[in-house]
């Protein structure tokens, strides 16, 4: 039976370090279509730094996710610490999709407490040459609750533009790579979130995307299919 976030926090806090791995794995809901996100949030609240760093390197997907999500809390405690930023950035390019999603959760946790630090993270990731790291930047910042802040909303639009330019920079052959396709998929919804937060600034930038490029045509169609844009762009 699933517990609340507070109940999971209490359960995790009562365990020894040696017991944590087994508990997290047993309650992960994996294998299955959806991991236990409530447990991940609770783990991010209470895991110690030493445990988080160990788990972030674990070959088990859920354990790695628990370690990565905790990095978000640690960055709030020690903003901009290079080792933590580097670790989160490296996991943004992890081949496991759940670990990459954990990176976005960690960055959003940073944004909930320190939007300036989130903006710095996103700007760095958006400028990366690695399409998976670029995708982490837009996935992290294109979250409606974070975009009520005008500065963060502006960074979201800029990140989407930069990510789009990165996508366009790849040759047709390279665009068939899994990492580049993952970036395209992220752009397929992130633009709509960014534009909905700042339609005056975002609408014209979205409408200026080059529909003659087949991948950008897909990005445009995908975002136009989102309800959040229906009333804004017609």
Q: Reply yes or no on whether the pLDDT at 1 is more than 80.
A: no
Output the pLDDT for position 2: 82
Give the mean model confidence (pLDDT) for residues 102-111: 98
Token pair belonging to 72: 């978000």
In the chain, the percentage of residues whose pLDDT exceeds 90 is: 95
Distance CA 152, CA 65 (A): 25
What is the reported pLDDT for 234?
64
Give the number of other Cβ atoms within 10 Å of residue 22's Cβ: 10
Q: Is pLDDT above 80 for 55? A: yes
Following DSSP, what letter does each residue of 37-54 receive, concatenated? HHHHHHHHHH--HHHHHH
Contact (Cβ atoms closer than 8 angstroms) between residue 165 and residue 151: no
Q: What is the mean pLDDT of residues 65-79?
A: 98
Structure tokens at 84: 């933590």
Element containing residue 125 per DSSP (H, E) = helix 115-126
The Cα–Cα gap between 19 and 4 comes to 20
For 153-207, the pLDDT digits (tens) are 999 999 999 999 999 999 999 999 999 999 999 999 999 999 999 999 999 999 9
Q: Is residue 31 predicted with pLDDT exceeding 70?
A: yes
pLDDT score of 233: 81
């Amino acid at each position: 039976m699933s517990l609340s976030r507070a109940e999971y926090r209490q359960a995790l806090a009562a365990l020894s370090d040696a017991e944590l791995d087994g508990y997290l794995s047993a309650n992960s809901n994996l294998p299955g279509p959806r991991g236990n996100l409530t447990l991940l949030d609770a783990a991010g609240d209470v895991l110690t730094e030493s445990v988080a760093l160990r788990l972030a390197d674990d070959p088990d997907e859920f354990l790695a996710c628990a370690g990565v999500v905790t990095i978000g809390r640690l960055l709030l405690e020690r903003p901009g610490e290079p080792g933590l930023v580097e670790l989160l950035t490296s996991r943004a390019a992890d081949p496991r999709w759940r670990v990459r999603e954990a990176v976005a959760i960690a960055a959003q946790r940073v944004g909930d407490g320190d939007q300036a630090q989130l903006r710095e993270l996103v700007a760095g990731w958006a400028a990366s040459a690695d399409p998976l790291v670029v995708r982490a930047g837009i996935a992290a910042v294109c979250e409606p609750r974070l975009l009520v802040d005008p500065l963060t909303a502006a960074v979201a639009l800029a990140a989407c533009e930069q990510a789009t330019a990165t996508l366009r920079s790849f040759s047709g052959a390279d665009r068939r790579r899994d990492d580049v396709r993952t970036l395209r998929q992220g752009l397929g919804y992130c633009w709509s979130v960014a534009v909905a937060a700042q339609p005056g600034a975002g609408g014209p930038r979205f409408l200026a995307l080059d529909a003659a490029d087949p991948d950008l045509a897909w990005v445009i169609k995908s975002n136009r299919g989102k309800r959040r844009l229906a009333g804004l762009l017609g």
